[in-house]
Chain A
C-alpha cells in the first residue's frame, strides 16, 4: 500500500510519522513517501518561532482545542526524554499583555501555572493594564523538522524533492492514499477560497538575556498584529505582523520598522540587540482546519485523500492532535479497503 504525503512542514512530517508508527506493523506492505518542493530549513514551520500557544479564542471550535491539548500533553510527555533537546523542545514562561481585561482563553488549563499578572508585573509593561502569565513549551521547527525527518528516514520512509502538481499525478503513479499537508499552497491542488495567507514578518536577533516570551494583543487589529518577543535556543524572534490576503514572501522595510520600533518600545534593552536575520512567511489561514477525507474520482481511478491543512499561525501548537486525527482517518480507509479481513483498530 503506497501512501504519499504532500508537504514536508510540521504537518506533513508529523502526520507521516504518526501513520507509520501506528500502521506499519499492521500493514506490512505500507510504503510511505513524502513529496515536497521545500524541505527544512525552508518551510513555513522553520520560520515560526515555535511557541506553543493557540489563538485567544477558539471560536467554539472545541475540536481544535482538543487537538491543541493533545499536542501539548504529547510534547510535555517528551520533556524528560533525552530527545527533547534534539527535538528543539523546552519549557518557557512568559506574558500575554492586553490594554483591557479579557476572558480567560480556552487553553488556560492546558498550559502550566496560568494566572493573571500582578500590578507589579504590569509595571514592566507601560501601556498594558491586564495580562496573563503561564509556562508553555517551545518547539523549534528548525530542530523538530530534522528530528522528524531522521525518525522517518530510520523507518524507511522515502523523500522526494518534487512539486506535486495534482492529486491525479500521484494517483496515476499508483499511490493508494494521499495526505494533503500542503499548507499555504493547498489551493493549487484543489481550489479553496477559505484558505488565505496570513503574512508575517519576523526579525531574528541575539538577545540572550530575554528569558520570557512576551505577546501583546491589540484586540482591534487582530492576532499577531501587535508586537511579540519570543526567545529561542539560539536567537530571539521579534514579530507582530499579520496581513490577511498578502502573498508576498519578500521582507518589507515598513514592516521591519514597525516590528523593530514596537518591540524596542516594549523592551528597551532590545535596542542593543544584534540583528542576525529577517524572514517573511505565509500562515496558511482558514476559518477552521481542514482535516477530513475526500474520495476523488480521477478518470478510472478513485483516490483517497486525507486533507490536513489550514493551521494558520498555530501549526506547531496543534500538529500532533491533527496527526493523530489524520491517522484515525487513515485507519478508516484501511477498514473500508479490507471488509472481510478487518484489521484491529489502530493502537492509540
Chain B
C-alpha cells in the first residue's frame, strides 16, 4: 500500500506536537491536521504553558516522569537555540510556596527541573502566610508563539492543516487510513468518553513586565507566571463546569489572591480575562483502538485527557502516540502484504 494517510484531529499543543512527531518518525506518511479551532482559539492558548507537572492519579509515576523528562529535554534544547524567541520558549525561575508542609517534600520531577532546592528562611520572609517553599528554574511555552512555531514546522514538512469540525471519527475513514484523536475536551463528545471531564480555569493575562519570577501556591490554585509579553495570573479549578464565559467576581478574586503573593501586581495594566476547560482524566489516554463498522476497520490512536498538565508532558505523549502510529502502519503494511499473497 502507498504510505498510509494520517489525520490528526485537534490543533492544540497535543495535536500539533503529535502531528510533528509523526512526521519525524514516519517521514513518508502524509499527515493532515483537522481542527475546528487553531491558535489563538485553543485551550492551549489560555494556559500559561509552565513546565510544572500535574500528577495523574492512575498513570504510573515512572511513565509521567518519562513524559516530563522528554518534554523538558526537547524544550530545553529549543530554549538554548536561536529559535527560542520565535518558538516562545524561555527559562523562568521562581518559587512554589506552601501554607503547610506538603506530604511529599520532593515531587517526582524535582530532579528534572533545574536547581531544585528548598527555599531559605530569608526567601520565605517575602511570604508571611507560607511556611515552606521550593525554588527552581523551569521552562515556559508561551502561546500563541509556540503553537504558531509548531504550525510553521509542520507546514515545512508538507503537512496540510484545515479548519474542519469533525463530528464523528468515521467521517474520516474514506480519506484517511489512520486517525489520531487529540481533541482534548472535545473527546467527551467525539468519542463519548465519560471519564473525561472539564475543569474550568479562569486566568488573567496582564502587562507587568517587571515581574520576572514565577510564584505558585502549592495548592495549585494561585499562581503568577511571567511570559514573554504578559504575566498569567491564576486561577480556578472548577470541576465539571463547561462555562467558557469569564466571571467578574472570579476576576476580582484571582487578582486579589495574586496581589497578596506579589503586591506590585496592583500596578498591572491591560487586564485580559480568559477561560479554558482543562480536559481532565484520571489518566492520560494514549492508546490504540480499532474502530469497526461493517467490515471496515479504522485504526485510531488516542492522545487526550492531559488536564492541567498538557504542556508539561506534551512531547512525551506525542512521542508515544507517534510510536503507536508507527505500530499501526506496520500492522497495515503487514496485513496489506499478506493480502497480496
Q: Is A90's CB under 8 angstroms from B212's CB?
A: yes
Q: Is A231's CB under 8 angstroms from B263's CB?
A: no
Q: Is B137's CB under 8 angstroms from A85's CB?
A: no
Q: Is A133's CB under 8 angstroms from B264's CB?
A: no
Determine if A325 is an interface residue (Cβ-Cβ < 8 Å): no
Determine if B114 is an interface residue (Cβ-Cβ < 8 Å): yes
- Which stretch in B4-12, B41-49, B117-125, B303-311 binds the other chain? B117-125
**Residues B257-299 near A (CB distance < 8 A):** 263-264, 266-267
CB neighbours (8 Å) of A85 from chain B are 210, 264, 267
Considering only CB atoms, which chain B residue lies closest to A207 in the complex?
B85
Of B84, B123, B209, the residue contacting A233 (CB under 8 A) is: B209
Q: How far is the CB of B81 from chain A (nearest CB, A)?
A: 6
Q: Is A80's CB under 8 angstroms from B115's CB?
A: no
In the complex where A84-B264, A90-B264, A208-B209 touch, is A268 in contact with B82 (Cβ < 8 A)?
Answer: yes
Determine if B228 is an interface residue (Cβ-Cβ < 8 Å): yes
Considering only CB atoms, which chain A residue lies closest to B114 in the complex?
A121
CB neighbours (8 Å) of A80 from chain B are 126, 263
**Residues A74-92 near B (CB distance < 8 A):** 79-82, 84-86, 88, 90-92
Determine if A1 is an interface residue (Cβ-Cβ < 8 Å): no
Considering only CB atoms, which chain B residue lies closest to A118 in the complex?
B115
CB neighbours (8 Å) of B228 from chain A are 208-209
**Residues B19-75 near A (CB distance < 8 A):** none
Of A90, A118, A211, the residue contacting B93 (CB under 8 A) is: A211
Determine if B92 is an interface residue (Cβ-Cβ < 8 Å): yes
Q: Is A135's CB under 8 angstroms from B264's CB?
A: no
Q: Is A79's CB under 8 angstroms from B126's CB?
A: yes
Determine if A112 is an interface residue (Cβ-Cβ < 8 Å): yes
**Residues A89-117 near B (CB distance < 8 A):** 90-93, 112-113, 115, 117
Q: How far is the CB of A228 from chain B (nearest CB, A)?
A: 16
Determine if B200 is an interface residue (Cβ-Cβ < 8 Å): no
Q: Is B266's CB under 8 angstroms from A268's CB?
A: no
Q: Is A208's CB under 8 angstroms from B82's CB?
A: no
Determine if B235 is an interface residue (Cβ-Cβ < 8 Å): no
Determine if B135 is an interface residue (Cβ-Cβ < 8 Å): yes
Bound-complex Cα distance A91 to B224 (A): 14
Q: Is A211's CB under 8 angstroms from B92's CB?
A: yes
- Which stretch in A192-200, A248-256, A269-277 binds the other chain? A269-277
Q: Is A90's CB under 8 angstroms from B210's CB?
A: yes
Considering only CB atoms, which chain A residue lies closest to B112 in the complex?
A120
Determine if A124 is an interface residue (Cβ-Cβ < 8 Å): yes
CB neighbours (8 Å) of B81 from chain A are 268-269
Determine if A328 is an interface residue (Cβ-Cβ < 8 Å): no
In the complex where A92-B212, A211-B92, A233-B209 touch, is A269 in contact with B82 (Cβ < 8 A)?
Answer: yes
Determine if B80 is an interface residue (Cβ-Cβ < 8 Å): yes
CB neighbours (8 Å) of A210 from chain B are 90
Determine if A234 is an interface residue (Cβ-Cβ < 8 Å): yes
Q: Is B114's CB under 8 angstroms from A268's CB?
A: no
CB neighbours (8 Å) of A269 from chain B are 81-85
In the complex where A113-B119, A268-B80, A268-B82 touch, is A93 in contact with B264 (Cβ < 8 A)?
Answer: no
**Residues A243-296 near B (CB distance < 8 A):** 268-269, 271-273
Q: Is A209's CB under 8 angstroms from B212's CB?
A: no
Considering only CB atoms, which chain A residue lies closest to B265 in the complex?
A85
Determine if B169 is an interface residue (Cβ-Cβ < 8 Å): no
Interface size on A, residues (CB 8 A): 38
Of B80, B90, B92, B120, the residue contacting A112 (CB under 8 A) is: B120
CB neighbours (8 Å) of A138 from chain B are 210
How would residues 77 to 110 of chain B score, 1 for a CB under 8 Å from any chain A CB and 0 otherwise?
0001111111010111110000000000000000
How would residues 193 to 236 of chain A score, 1 for a CB under 8 Å from any chain B CB and 0 otherwise?
00000000000000111111000000000000000000101100
In the complex where A115-B115, A118-B115 touch, is A82 in contact with B266 (Cβ < 8 A)?
Answer: yes
CB neighbours (8 Å) of B229 from chain A are 208
CB neighbours (8 Å) of B122 from chain A are 112
Q: Is B93's CB under 8 angstroms from A93's CB?
A: yes
CB neighbours (8 Å) of A207 from chain B are 85
In the complex where A115-B115, A273-B85 touch, is A93 in contact with B213 (Cβ < 8 A)?
Answer: yes
CB neighbours (8 Å) of B142 from chain A are 209
Q: Is B264's CB under 8 angstroms from A209's CB?
A: no
Bound-complex Cα distance A133 to B142 (A): 24
CB neighbours (8 Å) of B119 from chain A are 113
Bound-complex Cα distance A117 to B84 (A): 22
CB neighbours (8 Å) of B91 from chain A are 124, 211-212
Bound-complex Cα distance A271 to B86 (A): 11
In the complex where A135-B123, A233-B210 touch, is A268 in contact with B267 (Cβ < 8 A)?
Answer: no
CB neighbours (8 Å) of B90 from chain A are 209-211
Considering only CB atoms, which chain B residue lies closest to A88 in the complex?
B210
Extra 12 A-B pairs, beta carbons < 8 Å, given A85-B264, A92-B213? A82-B263, A84-B264, A90-B210, A133-B93, A208-B209, A210-B90, A211-B92, A212-B91, A233-B210, A268-B81, A268-B84, A273-B85
* B-to-A contact residues, CB < 8 Å: 80-86, 88, 90-94, 114-115, 117, 119-120, 122-123, 126, 135, 137, 142, 209-213, 226, 228-229, 263-264, 266-267
* A-to-B contact residues, CB < 8 Å: 79-82, 84-86, 88, 90-93, 112-113, 115, 117-118, 120-121, 123-124, 133, 135, 138, 207-212, 231, 233-234, 268-269, 271-273
24 contacting pairs across A/B (C-beta < 8 A): A79-B126, A81-B263, A85-B210, A90-B211, A91-B213, A93-B94, A93-B212, A112-B122, A121-B137, A124-B80, A133-B93, A133-B137, A135-B93, A207-B85, A209-B84, A209-B85, A209-B142, A209-B228, A210-B90, A212-B91, A268-B80, A268-B81, A269-B81, A269-B84
For the complex of A and B, list the 7 residue pairs with the smallest distance between their C-beta atoms, beginning with the closest: A269-B84, A268-B82, A209-B90, A233-B210, A90-B210, A85-B267, A93-B93
